[in-house]
Amino acid sequence: MTRHVAVLMGGSSSEREVSLNSGKACADALEGEGYRVTRIDVGPDVATVLAGLRPDVAFNALHGPDGEDGTIQGLLEILKIPYSHSGVLASALAMDKERAKVVMRAAGVDVPGGRVVNRMEAAREHVLPPPYVIKPVSEGSSMGVIIVRDGRSHPPQILASDEWRFGDQVLAEPYIAGRELTCGVMGDKPLGVIEVKAATEWYDYDAKYAPGGSIHVLPAELKPNVYQRVQELALTAHQALGCRGVSRADLRYDDTPGGTGALVVLEVNTQPGMTQTSLVPDMAAHAGLSFGELVRWMVEDASLNR
Q: What residues are labeled active site? A: 15, 141, 209, 248, 250, 267, 269, 273
Amino acid code (one letter) for 207 = A
Q: What does 25-75 look like in DSSP terms, one character per residue?
A: HHHHHHHHTT-EEEEEE--TTHHHHHHHH--SEEEE---STTTSSSHHHHH
C-alpha–C-alpha distance, residues 24 and 208, integer Å: 18
| CB contact at 8 A, 22 and 274 | yes
| CB contact at 8 A, 185 and 243 | yes
Count of helices and strands (H, E) across the chain: 10, 12
Grouping H, G, I as helix, E, B as strand and the rest as coil, residue 224 is helix
Return the closest-CA partner of residue 32 out of 303, 290, 286: 290
User: Beta strand pairing status for 4-9 and 57-60?
Assistant: parallel
| CB contact at 8 A, 136 and 87 | no
